[in-house]
Amino acid sequence: TASSVAGVWKASVSGQSCQVATPQTKFGSGYRAGPLHCPAPIDGIKSWNVAGKQLTLYDANGGTLARLYSSGGEKFDGQTSNGLPISLTRG
């Protein structure tokens, strides 16, 4: 659910780590997102949404930047739109 995803996450992309804030602030078709000192392409994350076990991160135009799936507990694993592995764990 959105409330279980809201908060701050540690994102890891290709061995580089940063933080992504996911407040429950309505934005477009989902919720606002704020990447902090993230490498491309996830420095462009503007919003997020969750459906079942899938978490999707979107850019400013509503395009999909990354798709992740819950791997139990406080962790999501997936790929960015350009094929890089990405994981989110609770900061």
Residue among 1, 41, 45, 39 nearest 21 (CA): 45
Structure confidence by residue, pLDDT tens digits, 10-34: 999 988 999 999 999 999 889 999 9
Residue 5 banded pLDDT, cuts 50, 70, 90: very high
Structure confidence by residue, pLDDT tens digits, 71-88: 987 999 999 999 999 999
Distance between CA atoms of 29 and 26, rounded to whole angstroms?
8
Ordered by where they begin, the domains of the chain are 2-90 (2.40.128.10)
DSSP 42: G
